[in-house]
Amino acid sequence: MEKEVVWTLTAQKDFWSNIIYLSTHWPEEVLHQFELNLDFKLQLISKLPNIGFSSKKYSRFKRTMVGKQVVLIYSVTKKHIVIHRLKHTSMK
């Protein structure tokens, strides 16, 4: 059963920070590829929520890579995939 994806306010801010960073520092193709990768990953975890790696420090969270440099941190409830963070590893 497919779960609905919901974003925390922090994750929404992370998303826009990533968009601004990529559009400022990289060619448009990189931004487009990021959007495609993110969409694919969100569809995948909504269908297969346990594909992410469990966090060693916080067991309720899972993480997965979106492309080479973006980490998606999420948790799973009965009905939802909750996106908590979307961190670009080269951003400060």
Taking only the tens place, the pLDDT of each residue in 32-51 is 999 999 999 999 999 999 88
Q: Is the pLDDT score of 25 beyond 80?
A: yes
What is the residue whose two structure tokens read 């996106």? Answer: 83
Q: What are phi and psi of 39, to 5 degrees?
A: -60, -45
How much is the average pLDDT of 15-30?
91
**Crossing angle of helices 9-25/28-47, nearest 10°?**
150
61: containing domain: 4-88
Q: What's the structural domain count of the chain?
A: 1
What is the structure's pLDDT at 91?
Answer: 62
The domain that contains 47 carries what CATH number? 3.30.2310.20
Least confident segment among 27-31, 51-55, 56-60 = 56-60
pTM to 2 decimal places = 0.89
